[in-house]
Amino acid sequence: MQKQFQELKQQLSELSETINKFESEAVQLRIIELLFKQAGGLQFGEPDEAAYEAGPGRATRPARTSRPRSAATAKQRKRDEVPSASGAVAALSGLVDSGFFNQKRTIGDIVKKCQEDFNVRYKSNAFSGPLSRYAKKGVLKREKNADGNYVYFK
């Protein structure tokens, strides 16, 4: 056993320079395993695929089936639903239609108006893209004020 170990140690020291040229540890281990397998020597690392047994699979739930709803139940449910919050683009188009932009407005004014009217706090960058598109399409006009900020108006 001692003789085999010394022999193996000598062989590995000779191969180490070549094996260490590979940066990946996984590649280095694979080369060593192949060498051992070819030499018919000891095996280490992961067992062969044939020895692998899969564990229990993930439990699956039975599919849910939906109950058919009567017209009265559907009507009542529709009444109970809270309308979903509209996005920044929808709020902005609502402000355009309402005449909010008859005066010159900054993005800060738009954010404040949405907070007051819709009770939703939008970030100013949520409006910058849609406002520039509205300006390009001609829906709104845009110019810089004395502070260097863009103002939007009809």
> Vertex 131, ends 94 and 153: CA angle to 5°?
75
For residues 148 and 93, state if they share a domain.
yes
CATH of the domain at 142: 1.10.10.10
Say how many domains are in the chain. 2
64 in any annotated domain: no
For residues 92 and 149, state if they share a domain.
yes
13 in any annotated domain: yes
For residues 41 and 92, state if they share a domain.
no
pLDDT at position 83 is: 47
Residues of the chain with pLDDT under 70: 41-55, 57, 59, 66-86
- In angstroms, the CA 92 to CA 86 distance is 10
pLDDT at position 27 is: 87
Nearest to 45 by CA among 54, 35, 55: 35
Q: How far is CA 33 from CA 11, 23, 41, in A?
A: 14, 17, 10
20 in any annotated domain: yes
Question: Which structure tokens are listed for 99?
Answer: 């005449």
11 in any annotated domain: yes
pLDDT at position 34 is: 85
Is residue 140 within 8 Å of 131, Cβ to Cβ? Answer: yes
Please state whether the predicted TM-score (pTM) of the whole model is above 0.85.
no
109 in any annotated domain: yes
53 in any annotated domain: no
pLDDT at position 28 is: 84
**What's the chain's Rg over C-alpha atoms?**
35
Q: Which domain holds residue 31?
A: 2-45
pLDDT at position 69 is: 65
